[in-house]
Chains A and B, each alone.
Chain A
Amino acid sequence: MNENPFLGALEWLSDPARWTGPSGIPLRTAEHLGYTALGVLVAALIAVPVGLYVGHTGRFKGLAVGAAGVARALPTLGLVTLFALLVGIGLTAPLLSFVILAIPSLLAGAYSAVESADPATVDAARAQGMTEWQILTRVELPLGMPLLVGGVRGATVQVVATAMLAAYVGSGGLGRYIFQGLGSQDYPQMIAGSLLVIVLALVLDLALLLLQRATAPRGTAAA
């Protein structure tokens, strides 16, 4: 670290060779996005139906809250390394940890979305003759959509970070640059990799924040 390492990082980033080829920045970014999308999607397929069920019926609420709490206490790096050893190299090991770590946010998002509907509104909908499915899809979900998207947002942030750590045990993605830099004592490259991950994380977060705003039901904000 004799010179300013940030200048070194800029130099690293501005090298045209970094922007092409199988270990180039575009492909690594695409890999990272792919991991994130796949992880959140698989986790959502599991957690959202369960969360909607818990929120609508109020059953197993304690169990869901407790499980989400325990899952939050699990160290990300621990899961990534554990599955790498148990399952071996490939997509399955990191995907397992993405899914496990994305579930708490999605679960909490889904049940709090359903629970957020005013009980009097739900009662009135039932009294008018809506079926339980209609109450869920036409009343509870539209009203709670921003909270559900909030859960997706939390899960995405979590998986972006986890996908970076997965590079430690051999996956692709933007984390590669950081660990390569660590191995070769190339601090500017580590900084460059870090900046790329931060930008990706912020862009995804902002996009989901906008989606969250866009799904806010009309009518409820105007008071």
Chain B
Amino acid sequence: MSWVLENLDVIAGYTGAHLVQALPPILLAFALSLPLAKLANSRGWLRTGVTTTSGLMYAIPSLPLFVLLPGLIGTGVRSPLNIVIALTLYGLALMVPTASDGFRSVSRDVLGSATAQGYAPAARFWQVELPLAGPVLLGGVRVVAVSTISLVTVGGVLGVPSLGMLFVDGVRRGIVAEIAAGVVATAALALLTDALLVLLGRLLMPWHRGREGSRP
């Protein structure tokens, strides 16, 4: 405990670096998944392909991907950019199939009646289709957020600064409290983000009282 109190500034610094690597993949995965999912839904074979690729992508452990990226795109092994890109790919692997399901779950009848009422295609997407797919999308983003925040720590073994550095440093110097602090801080950050997303969902989708507590 005393280690934690003496090193609050270190923990705070790593938390900041952690968020810098975690938030862009979460936001990017969400934003990019919407057009990709719409595209995938427009063709049956494309949808099957996307689902299969996503499943395989998700099976690849994160560290090998962190290692391969510098060789492919010319970044340094310790560059946080590798982490951001790799985690965006994972986020997409999870989010695109989810968004695809979400859009498919919107009833054809509702969309048809919206068109009949005179919604232009863009307005129909933003005002009808997206909000109705919202609960499924939210479920996907929650899983992406929690797993992204947890995976950022793996970069620590390569020397990329994040809360993962507490594990690397802790095991090297034999300080249990440092590792425990890292575990607690990472889990707390993930659960806090998750709670914020649930709250955001309630604000944006008041018709859907977050009764859905389970995850895929």
Contacts and interface: CB of A to CB of B under 8 A. Distances in A.
A145 interface: no
A125 interface: no
Interface in A29-83: 62, 65-66, 68-70, 72-82
A114 B194 CA distance: 27
B187 A74 contact: yes
Interface string B5-43: 000000000000000000000000000000000000000
Interface stretch (A15-23, A194-202, A214-222): A194-202
Contacts of B215: 65, 68-69, 72, 108
Per DSSP, chain B at the interface is helix
B146 A198 contact: no
B176 interface: yes
Contacts of B191: 70, 73
- A contact face: mostly helix, strand, loop, or mixed: helix
Nearest to A72: B146
Contacts of B213: 62, 65-66
B174 interface: yes
B154 A76 contact: yes
A182 B158 contact: yes
A126 to B, nearest CB: 25
A84 interface: yes
Contacts of A5: 71
Interface in A175-223: 175, 178-179, 182, 187, 190-191, 193-195, 197-198, 201-202, 204-206, 209
B209 to A, nearest CB: 16
14 contacts: A69-B146, A70-B191, A73-B149, A73-B190, A74-B187, A77-B167, A78-B166, A78-B179, A86-B176, A179-B157, A187-B70, A191-B68, A201-B60, A205-B56
